[in-house]
Structure 1
Amino acid sequence: MPLVETLPIRADTAQWPVWGTTARIVVTDPSRLPEATELVRSELAAVDAACSRFRADSELRRACRAGGEPVTVSPLLAHLVGAALDAARETGGAVDPTVGGALCGLGYDRDFAALTGRRVAPAVRVFATPDWRAVRLRGLELTVPDGVLLDLGATAKAMAADRAAARVAERLDVGVLVALGGDIATAGPAPTDQGWQILVQDRPGDPGDCVRLPAGAALATSSTAGRTWGRPGELLHHIVDPRTGRPAPTVWRTVSVAAFTCLRANTLSTAAIVRGHAASDLLGRTPSRLVTPDLDILRLGGWPS
């Protein structure tokens, strides 16, 4: 995952491995850190049980096994699926939750921590991706077409960061930053002197930017270099172009986007990777940082230089 680190200011920090990356929280009142940690862990566990495609007992997998019949789901899963469908609609299908089968065909069929170092077979299976519009969500009734495997990776982790940060700020009355790999959300008051200081850097040795997030802001980084697998000469990455069922061409090594929700930031950063050379048209005036494979940097929308 992209290396996006916080530089804590008058705050304390906890971190632990989750979902093949690192969960990190920073709070403005160190005395509330144990309670904040438990709240974040609880939120992440609930999201995992709802929508992990790597757990046979998740609600999402149950809906995908229903043979195209409607399934009643929890409010949490309905919220997560609804956000994924909204992201697909807003990006013209660039971020599509129906790419789960394609990801499995490419070899990404288990948690990334278990995938690391694995070599895929020479003949990688590629599955055509159905259109996101084939998925139906009416209230708490979810219908997934028979044979379709949903993957909410482009939106659910970002939503988990948003939800966890909001929950900590509301319950404990503190400022908090929640980082799940490259997905960062904040809630409550920021540190009073310089706000939340974030180092945005994909891999050690890559160019980095230190930026300041105001209270309530979020940042997401999508990368074609972080989650890779396969073997030398045919490495694959996890951002699939729904039009082809293959990893998106590597026009950008990373795209970082700042917004007022992590969900919005990650939706745009993922879509920008998929859109490739048309990314700047998609991003418009949104504060963004795009890095080419040669490590050249394009800053848009007021991203600080």
Structure 2
Amino acid sequence: MVTDPGQLDAARRIVANEIAAVDRAASRFRPDAEIMHLDAAGGAPQQVSELLAELIGVALDAARRTGGDVIPTLGGALADLGYDRDLSLLARNGPPVLTVRRPAPGWRRISLAGRTLTLPVDVQLDLGATAKAHTADRAAAQVAARLDTGVLVSLGGDIATAGQAPAGGWQVHVADQPGEPTCVVGLAAGTAVATSSTLGRRWQRGDRLLHHILDPRTCQPAPTVWRTVTVAAGTCVAANTGTALTAAPTRSEGTSR
């Protein structure tokens, strides 16, 4: 959404280009994505693109800010639980998976200096806890700067704004499942809101109903405290990280909420 209707098509193109660039860099679900080739370095330092370095840096910053509750080292654990492709392609019922409770690989072992990344051989990255939210922040900032318009960018449950807000602020409708109670959250210019749920991204393996928010202490779906959490903050990354922290105790989020 834009405050200058004449800029809507141009704004949509900017956002679409941002999404496509992030998908090529960081999607765990496409074999040609840059992130899928990091293992080839075998633990040696490697050069990554500026965009992937930025996305990994944001993920590591979230890990630092949360004391390791929201981390980017759960790619292998999510795949082991069956979440190895886009949710739209994921078989919702499948054979049992092994329940191996183990700590996630330590995120502090990842070294990022500029564009030079050193990734331990036992670490498979998943940037889902921060990458989509950061993309919303990036896209909103670019639209506002390039088109001189107020803008709201919504990527699923991750919403960022930039530029001047409409009169009364941005009004965001928050809902869970169809037919359930809803509310409206008002956002001032330049702020963001994110919503996370343990209901939407679920799949069955054997007799286990799994979801995508993992406890890094066990690499298993975290115990559910709240069904749905919405957080407003100064950036979408901060809001999204807050939803993961609140949705379940000591946890980290997997790809693509």
TM-score grouping bracket, smaller chain normalisation: over 0.9
Determine helix, strand or coil for the equivalent of 2:74: helix
User: Is the CA contact (8 Å cut-off) linking 2:97 and 2:205 kept in structure 1?
Assistant: no
The counterpart of 1:153, out of the listed 108, 114, 128, is: 128
Structure 1 counterpart of 2:24, which letter?
Answer: A
Measured in 1, the distance between the counterparts of 2:248 and 2:112 equals 25
State the Cα distance separating 1:230 from its structure 2 match.
1.0
1:109-149: CA deviation from partner (whole Å, max 9, x where unpaired): 0011211x531312346474201111111111011111321
Measured in 1, the distance between the counterparts of 2:156 and 2:100 equals 27
* 1:28-107 superposed matches below 5 A: 28-107=3-82
Determine helix, strand or coil for the equivalent of 1:160: helix
Determine helix, strand or coil for the equivalent of 2:12: helix
The aligned length equals: 250
1:148-187: CA deviation from partner (whole Å, max 9, x where unpaired): 2100000000000000011111111111111111100001
Structure 2 counterpart of 1:201, which letter?
Answer: A
Identity rate, percent: 59
State the Cα distance separating 1:223 from its structure 2 match.
0.8
Residue 118 of structure 1 is matched in structure 2 by 92
User: Is the CA contact (8 Å cut-off) linking 1:118 and 1:229 kept in structure 2?
Assistant: yes
Gaps of 5+ in 2: 252-257
Measured in 1, the distance between the counterparts of 2:170 and 2:157 equals 15
Determine helix, strand or coil for the equivalent of 1:185: strand
User: Is the CA contact (8 Å cut-off) linking 1:189 and 1:215 kept in structure 2?
Assistant: yes
User: Is the CA contact (8 Å cut-off) linking 1:67 and 1:147 kept in structure 2?
Assistant: no
Segment drifting more, 152-161 vs 221-230: 221-230
* 1:82-231 superposed matches below 5 A: 82-115=57-90, 117-124=91-98, 126=100, 128=102, 129-192=104-167, 194-230=168-204
1:51-86: CA deviation from partner (whole Å, max 9, x where unpaired): 111122222121233211111011111111011011
Measured in 1, the distance between the counterparts of 2:151 and 2:68 equals 33
- Please report the TM-score for the alignment, with normalisation by the length of structure 2: 0.92
User: Is the CA contact (8 Å cut-off) linking 1:178 and 1:184 kept in structure 2?
Assistant: yes
Measured in 1, the distance between the counterparts of 2:39 and 2:62 equals 20
Structure 1 counterpart of 2:154, which letter?
Answer: A
User: Is the CA contact (8 Å cut-off) linking 1:51 and 1:60 kept in structure 2?
Assistant: yes
Determine helix, strand or coil for the equivalent of 2:199: coil
Measured in 2, the distance between the counterparts of 1:224 and 1:79 equals 28
1:245-302: CA deviation from partner (whole Å, max 9, x where unpaired): 00110111111110010001111111222426x9xxxxxxxxxxxxxxxxxxxxxxxx
Residues 122, 38 of structure 1: CA spacing in aligned structure 2 closer, same or farther, 3 A cutoff?
A: same
Structure 1 counterpart of 2:194, which letter?
Answer: A
Residues 225, 232 of structure 1: CA spacing in aligned structure 2 closer, same or farther, 3 A cutoff?
A: farther
Measured in 2, the distance between the counterparts of 1:196 and 1:163 equals 18
Gaps of 5+ in 1: 1-25, 279-305
Structure 2 counterpart of 1:28, which letter?
Answer: T
Determine helix, strand or coil for the equivalent of 1:236: strand
The counterpart of 1:241, out of the listed 215, 219, 240, is: 215
Higher relative contact order (CA 8 A, sep 6+): 2
- Please report the TM-score for the alignment, with normalisation by the length of structure 1: 0.78
State the Cα distance separating 1:232 from its structure 2 match.
8.7
User: Is the CA contact (8 Å cut-off) linking 1:101 and 1:127 kept in structure 2?
Assistant: no
Residues 77, 127 of structure 1: CA spacing in aligned structure 2 closer, same or farther, 3 A cutoff?
A: farther
Measured in 1, the distance between the counterparts of 2:134 and 2:219 equals 24
User: Is the CA contact (8 Å cut-off) linking 2:59 and 2:127 kept in structure 1?
Assistant: yes
User: Is the CA contact (8 Å cut-off) linking 2:46 and 2:118 kept in structure 1?
Assistant: yes
